[in-house]
């Protein structure tokens, strides 16, 4: 019974169920091909990388009681910056130069995150509104960088960020996993996670307790920006071009959903990184499964809505109590009454 009560039980159960469906519906679920793993499962891992990165940053932001709506725009800007710089290279396949450009794009994204963090922590604007500004203006900025065009690049090192394989696993997934591991170690093996949750619980109280609440709040937005930038690079490397209008469109809602599915409360003060990873995998698997099962594309969103509603209700303790409560025997309560 304790397993059933775990917040992650239903998300994991649905994830596993959908993966099993995929075993039967996909041509190749998991095989070895050209020396690396191949199949639907690998597609899911590769495709979930951008969402996982964005959701990871979002988890930290939400743990401090904030929210970051600008991640989609930051992704567009990051991809635009990278593609613009790579296009101007004399040799687009020079690994060193591409790595430097990747670093520059992530740096720009972190700066955009710093802007969000400053608005929230220093100026004191509500997070949803502070990040709304960059969400609106950022896509315009990205369009300005690309001059309204889609910039195509022919760089193999850049493309390998999204499509490459290392140790038989997709590079994009490994990048996301590295980010997850780094964040998990920093927040769970140091006091950082505790400080985050403290700021999320009450910024004023944590400041009085000697925690630099303002600095920590700014930091989470910087991290969120940098991760979104990395996600933007993966998305743009996947199509070898920068699409300033569609890159990261509506990803903030999927990311928030992934965070909530993973059991992080939107009011802050508590977070689960492994939960977010499962949430992101769940959303990506859902997207792949819906197509694989043969649901017509125009009904995809409807299908997604039904799953989301079912999942959110299954996580609601009140709903469980009201619907499943009557089927359970209640020895604990009875014992109390008789005693």
Partner 1 sequence: MKTTIDATPEVAQNAPVNPRRRVYRPNAKYIPILATLVLLLAMYVGGLANLAHFDDPRVVVNLFRDNAVLLVVAIGMTFVILTGGIDLSVGAVISLTTTLTATLLQGGWPPLLVLPLVLVLGALLGSGMGAVIQYFKVEPFIATLAGLFLARGLALYINQESIPIRDKLWVTLSDLRIPLFDGVKTTLIAVVALVVVLIAAAVLAWTRFGRNVYAIGGSADSALLMGLPVARTRVLVYTISGFCAALGGVLFTINSTSGHALQGAGTELDAIAACVIGGVLLTGGSGYVFGTLLGVMVFGLISTIINFQGDLNSAWTRIVVGILLFGFIVLQRLVTRRAR
Q: Which of 92, 72, 68 is nearest to 80 (CA)?
A: 72
Token digits for 10? Answer: 């239903």
| Residues in the chain, overall count | 339
User: Of 191 and 321, which CB lies nearer to partner 1 in the complex structure?
Assistant: 321
DSSP track, 56-94: HHHHHHHHTT---TTHHHHHHHHHHHHHHHHHT-SSTT-
Among 313, 325, 330, 334, binds partner 1 (CB under 8 A): 313
- Rounded to a whole number of angstroms, the minimum distance from the CB of residue 295 to partner 1 is 11
Instruction: Show the site string, 149-188: x = touches partner 1 by CB under 8 A, - = not.
Output: ----------------------------------------
Q: Which residues within the stretch 117-146 sit at the binding site for partner 1 (CB under 8 A)? A: 119, 123-126, 128-130, 132-141, 143-144
Q: Give the separation between CA 46 and CA 163, rounded to whole angstroms.
A: 8
- Residue 316 in contact with partner 1, rule: CB under 8 A: yes
The residue count for binding partner 1 (CB under 8 A) is 46
- Rounded to a whole number of angstroms, the minimum distance from the CB of residue 299 to partner 1 is 5
- Rounded to a whole number of angstroms, the minimum distance from the CB of residue 65 to partner 1 is 11
- Rounded to a whole number of angstroms, the minimum distance from the CB of residue 221 to partner 1 is 15
- Rounded to a whole number of angstroms, the minimum distance from the CB of residue 327 to partner 1 is 17
Q: Which residues within the stretch 2-61 sit at the binding site for partner 1 (CB under 8 A)? A: none
- Residue 318 in contact with partner 1, rule: CB under 8 A: yes
Q: Which residues within the stretch 235-264 sit at the binding site for partner 1 (CB under 8 A)? A: 253, 256-257, 260
Q: Give the separation between CA 260 and CA 129, rounded to whole angstroms.
A: 20
Q: Are 65 and 267 in contact (CB under 8 A)?
A: yes
Token digits for 6? Answer: 């775990």
In the block, tokens 């590295």 appear at: 178
In the block, tokens 């604007």 appear at: 125
Other CB atoms closer than 10 Å to residue 120's CB: what's the count? 27
User: Of 26 and 236, which CB lies nearer to partner 1 in the complex structure?
Assistant: 236
- Rounded to a whole number of angstroms, the minimum distance from the CB of residue 171 to partner 1 is 31
Non-local CB neighbours of 122 within 8 Å, separated by 6+ positions: 214, 218
Token digits for 96? Answer: 């060193």
- Residue 290 in contact with partner 1, rule: CB under 8 A: no
User: Of 229 and 268, which CB lies nearer to partner 1 in the complex structure?
Assistant: 268
User: Of 42 and 283, which CB lies nearer to partner 1 in the complex structure?
Assistant: 283
- Grouping H, G, I as helix, E, B as strand and the rest as coil, residue 7 is coil
Q: Are 118 and 204 in contact (CB under 8 A)?
A: no
Taking CA atoms, 113 is separated from 73, 246, 324, in Å, by 11, 20, 44
Among 33, 212, 274, 319, binds partner 1 (CB under 8 A): 319
Q: Binding segment for partner 1 among 21-29, 77-85, 175-183, 315-323 (CB under 8 A)?
A: 315-323
- Rounded to a whole number of angstroms, the minimum distance from the CB of residue 119 to partner 1 is 8
Q: Which of 322, 320, 335 is nearest to 1 (CA)?
A: 320
Instruction: Show the site string, 65-84: x = touches partner 1 by CB under 8 A, - = not.
Output: ----x---------------
Q: How many helices (H) and strands (E) does the chain have?
A: 16, 6
Among 92, 202, 241, 300, binds partner 1 (CB under 8 A): 300
Q: Give the separation between CA 326 and CA 337, rounded to whole angstroms.
A: 18
Binding interface with partner 1 (CB under 8 A): 69, 119, 123-126, 128-130, 132-141, 143-144, 148, 253, 256-257, 260, 265-266, 298-306, 308-309, 312-313, 316-319, 322
């Amino acid at each position: 019974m304790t397993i059933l009560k775990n917040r992650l039980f239903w998300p994991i159960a649905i994830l596993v169920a959908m993966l099993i469906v995929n075993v039967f519906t996909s041509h190749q679920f998991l095989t070895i091909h050209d020396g690396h793993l191949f199949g639907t499962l690998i597609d899911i891992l590769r495709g979930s990388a951008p969402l996982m990165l964005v959701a990871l940053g979002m988890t930290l932001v939400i743990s401090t009681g904030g929210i970051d709506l600008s991640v989609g725009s930051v992704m567009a800007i990051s991809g635009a910056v990278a593609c613009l710089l790579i296009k101007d290279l004399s040799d687009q396949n020079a690994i060193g130069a591409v790595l430097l450009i990747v670093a520059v794009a992530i740096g720009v994204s972190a700066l955009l995150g710093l802007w969000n963090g400053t608005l929230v922590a220093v100026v004191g604007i509500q997070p949803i509104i502070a990040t709304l500004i960059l969400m609106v203006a950022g896509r315009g900025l990205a369009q300005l960088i690309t001059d309204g065009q889609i910039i195509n690049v022919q760089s193999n090192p850049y493309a390998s960020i999204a499509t490459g394989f290392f140790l038989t696993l997709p590079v994009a997934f490994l990048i996301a996993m590295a980010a997850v591991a780094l964040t998990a170690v920093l927040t769970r093996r140091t006091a950082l996670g505790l400080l985050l949750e403290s700021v999320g619980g009450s910024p004023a109280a944590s400041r009085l307790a000697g925690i630099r609440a303002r600095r920590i709040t700014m930091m989470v937005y910087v991290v969120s920006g940098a991760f979104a930038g990395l996600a933007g690079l993966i998305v743009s490397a996947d199509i070898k071009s920068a699409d300033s209008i569609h890159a990261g469109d509506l990803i903030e809602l999927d990311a928030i959903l992934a965070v909530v599915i993973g059991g992080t409360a939107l009011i802050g003060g508590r977070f689960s990184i492994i939960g977010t990873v499962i949430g992101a995998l769940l959303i990506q698997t859902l997207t792949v499964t819906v197509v694989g099962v043969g649901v017509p594309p125009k009904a995809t969103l409807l299908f997604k809505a039904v799953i989301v509603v079912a999942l959110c209700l299954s996580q609601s303790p009140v709903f469980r109590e009201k619907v499943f409560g009557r089927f359970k025997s209640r020895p604990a309560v009875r014992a109390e009454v008789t005693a």
